[in-house]
Structure 1
Amino acid sequence: MLETEICILGAGPGGATAALHLANAGRPCLLLDRATFPRDKVCGDALSGKVLSELRRIDAVLPARLEAAPVQLPSWGIDFYAPNGRKLAVPFKPNYNATTDHAAGHISKRIDFDNFLIWEVRRRPEIEFREGVDISQHEQQPDGRWLLKDTSGTPVALTRLLLVANGAQSSFARQIGGHALEPAHHCAGLRAYYRGVRNLHPDNFIELHFIKDFLPGYLWVFPLPNGEANVGVGMLTEAVSKKKVNLREKLTDMLATHPALKDRFANAERLGPVRGFGLPLGSKRRKLSGPNFLLLGDAASLIDPFSGEGISHAMVSGRHAADWAGRALATKDFSTPFLTGYDKAVYNRLGQELRLSRVMQRLLNYPWLFNFIANRAANNPTIAETLSMMFLDLDMRERLRKPSFYLKLLVGK
């Protein structure tokens, strides 16, 4: 059995980011994951500008290294399709030049992006990375340390501080962290890969389709390398239950019959099965820490409630978790009151953005209002910029504090 000061459960973007920041600070840690990398994870596969910023905080060369990798596509914006069929194109960067500028976003399968981070993890001697270790039991000892056991009941590690980054289905987050599944703050989704989808944007804009008969859900189409595309749907679990929606049937039907999609998918080939997943959304502020533990990423229910994006939020939480883990070790204080500072740091960075996304999510219940905003946004730079900022690393906090911002949202200019 290993004894360590810091143990991280889960080597996805949140856990890997925390481990890399700890390594940068010269602090050793143990990183455990039940999978063996490279491994797939069901996701939309979009990497926002905030992801690039977090990579840069780990190592300034990482964004360029990602940009040069053949497993990604540079993405220059978003095409929003309103319920009335109107398309609103929102570039990530005004007046961009795709041949000379650095892309503001990327699209990469999670099997490739997560392995990109793991390659960095393997390079760091401060990180002891163990794959294929499935932790199923977490027992807190009288001295506050966590004893971790695998599925056979064999002790694996004893740690002073536990960073929990093992995903949306984390038993620790549910049973100990208190993050119960709440249908009003949880999204059900499906994802499939396709080849041969017609008329994808030449600059790899990601597509979000808000189809009237499918609201409050949405359908996405994200281009990928090698002529592939990530295609999926998401809807609040509460709405799926109330409306008795069969997501698989709806996805198949919309791709086959919707005017904006049917011709584009007529000769497309689906690659592999349609896979489902659940997303605990950040539409409700929750406790992210407790005695000798911190929750990160999806395990902390930090997924954007409007876009469904979770990678950058996981990386933000990983950075702050590494910071507060270092503070706890320095002060030898692992108590709940002290670690609440981590909660404050995460929500100070993400809280207002999550609240804005929650407001936009609620618009999906009112198609006429969504159409109105889409129509206005075509002539209102403030709305278009706000939509873009949700996917970029532009800190919205100062703008959201100014009353003039909301006036511009209403009247334009």
Structure 2
Amino acid sequence: MNHDICILGAGPGGATAALHLANAGHPCLLLDRAAFPRDKVCGDALSGKVLSELKRIDEKLTSQLAAAPMQVPSWGIDFFAPNGQQLGIPFKPDFNKNTDRAAGHVAKRIDFDNFLVEEVRQRPEIDFRENVDVARTERTATGWQLLNKAGEEVATCRILLVANGAQSEFARKVAGHALEPDHHCAGLRTYYDNVTGLSPNNFIELHFIKDFLPGYLWVFPLPNGQANVGVGMLSKTVAAKKINLRQRLDEILTTHPTLAPRFAQAERLGPVRGFGLPLGSKRRPLSGANYLLLGDAGSLIDPFSGEGISHAMVSGRHAAIWAAQAVAKGDFSPAFLKNYDKAVYNRLWQELRLSRVMQRLLNFPSLFNIVANRAVNNPTLAETLSAMFMDLDLRERLRQPSFYFKLLFGRK
């Protein structure tokens, strides 16, 4: 069956695109190889940017998420520098948990992705099909043909929105997104019960440990006293130093002077699972003839924090806009669809560049310590670190020379 718009992948990017199309009255076909709810290896943090994108889909979604038992509200970030300096940055200064709406949440991806999919199921404009494995895509005179493993046609479409994740074969073979170790992160994630010392305000923790740099370890609180725990490091470094991430994760949790006591009685829940993250530290093409790349398939993951959900949702929103315009104009050319690239990078590129700088800082522990020590007394630097996880538009302040002076020298 022929469709104007087909979306591959019902994760946050694909679901967001489908929901925005539905809001605008445009029908679409949404395909996913899995049946929901399904797990996705991730850090599970939902930043303020995620909440902002939910609100753009439907105002009620943020309230529904906040009321859901699958999540905990998170009020900030604890950065731990290599010298042990703890830098606690609330998402909102002087927050009041009794009256303020949380600026972030933590929820397992199996639950959050299903939360979006349940909304997708309510929309008659979306033809949502699960357990559909698109094994191959073929160019046609008018768009794309989608085929299953048996070579049978699943559907055809005029424009294909590719949101099928970091391992997207389409992104690799058609769009030319090669795996570049300097722009790719290797990560591990597992779940624990009974980790002590978690923040009473559910601050997410990022630990930058001296003998593990330029990697980092995270501890994110979850409902029912559980925690998402993992490590991430540039694939280039993992290969060059022949680092066994699973071994290092175990070593840190059993020997680190601060973390070991907190994990002494903790119980690991299930296996340690690995994943790869194509980072947005390099500007890559996000479109071509009759297609757009969304989220992880577009290599849009934050190079410093590893956060990808909000960027997937931002790209999903813009993909819906430009796919609808392409259909309206009957123009699916690479030249026209470049407008999608411009829109996404106009929103995200300055932040991605700043995160790349922060990522490189991890190669210099002493410099990182100076930044952490300075941030304790420098509100501008603290706010900037916080803004990387929020929906605070950094573009204007990054264009102002005075911002950099305050960033380096400001104390008030």
Partners of 1:282 and 1:302 within 8 A in 2: yes
Task: Name 2:212's counterpart in structure 1.
Answer: 214
**Which amino acid in the other structure matches residue 79 of structure 2?**
F
**2:244 corresponds to:** 246
Aligned pairs (5 A) from 1:118-133: 118-133=117-132
Q: Does 1:288 align with 2:286?
A: yes
Distance in structure 1 (CA, Å) of the matches to 2:97 and 2:405 = 33
Candidates 339, 342, 351, aligned match of 1:341: 339
Normalised by the length of structure 2, the TM-score is: 0.99
1:151-194: CA deviations, max 9, x gaps? 12111000000000000000000000110000000000000000
1:4 aligned partner, one-letter code = H
Structure 1 residue 201 and structure 2 residue 202: aligned? no
Q: How does 1:68-147 map to 2 (within 5 A)?
A: 68-141=67-140, 143-147=141-145
8 Å contact 1:281–1:303 — kept in the other structure?
yes
- Partner of residue 31, structure 1: 30
2:4: which partner in 1?
A: 5
State how 1:223-302 maps to structure 2 within 5 Å.
223-302=221-300
- Could you give the per-residue CA deviations for residues 282-330 of structure 1, whole angstroms, max 9, x where no partner exists? 0000000000000000000000000000000000000000000011011
> Secondary structure at the residue paired with 1:135?
coil
Residue 164 (structure 1) aligned with residue 162 (structure 2) = yes
Q: Is the contact between residue 144 and residue 291 of structure 1 (CA under 8 Å) also seen in structure 2?
A: no
Secondary structure at 1:324 match in 2: helix
Equivalent residue for 2:387?
Answer: 389
* Structure 1 residue identity aligned to 2:296: D
In 2: Cα distance, 1:373 partner to 1:349 partner: 26
Gap regions ≥5 residues in structure 2: none
Shift of 1:144: 3.4
Deviation for aligned residue 1:212: 0.4
Match of 2:406 in 1: 408
Question: In the alignment, what sits opposite 2:171?
Answer: 173
Letter in 2 for 1:31: L
Following superposition, the deviation at residue 63 of structure 1 comes to: 0.4
State the 1:136 CA deviation. 1.0
Q: Structure 1 residue runs of 4+, over 3 Å off?
A: none
For residue 316 of structure 2, give the secondary structure of its aligned residue in structure 1.
helix
Q: Which amino acid aligns with 1:113?
A: F
Q: Normalized against structure 1, the TM-score is what?
A: 0.99
- Return the alpha-carbon distance in structure 2 between the equivalents of residues 153 and 312 of structure 1: 35
Q: CA deviation at 1:100?
A: 1.6
What fraction of aligned residue pairs are identical, expressed as a percent? 74
Letter in 2 for 1:225: P
Query: C-alpha separation between the residues in 2 aligned to 1:82 and 1:395?
Result: 25
Tell me, in whole angstroms, the C-alpha distance in 1 between the residues paired with 2:319 and 2:93.
34
TM superposition shift of 1:199: 0.8
Instruction: Report how far residue 3 of structure 1 moved.
Output: 1.2
- C-alpha deviations, 1:333-362, integer Å up to 9, x for none? 000000000000000000000000000000
Quote the residue 1:355 is aligned against: 353
Partner of 1:303, secondary structure, is: coil
> Which letter does structure 2 place at the counterpart of 1:285?
R
Cα distance, 1:145 vs. partner? Answer: 1.2
Give the AA of the match of 1:313: H
In the alignment, what sits opposite 2:311? 313
Cα deviations by residue, 1:358-377 (Å, 9 ceiling, x for unpaired)? 00000000000000000000
Q: 1:365 aligns with which of 345, 363, 385?
A: 363
Kindly indicate whether the alpha-carbon contact (under 8 Å) linking 1:82 and 1:209 is maintained by their aligned counterparts in 2.
yes
- Mapped contact 1:46–1:107 kept (Cα < 8 A): yes
Hey, what's the Cα distance between the residues in 2 that align with 1:292 and 1:308?
Answer: 29
Query: RMSD of the TM alignment (CA)?
Result: 0.5
Rounded Cα–Cα distance in structure 1 between residues aligned with 2:180 and 2:409 = 36
Q: Once the 2 structures are TM-superposed, how far is the Cα of residue 120 of structure 1 from its aligned partner? A: 0.3
Is the counterpart of residue 187 in structure 1 residue 172 in structure 2? no
- C-alpha distance in 2, partners of 1:212/1:242? 18
Give the count of matched residue pairs.
411
Q: Secondary structure at the match of 2:237?
A: helix
One-letter identity of the residue aligned with 1:134:
D
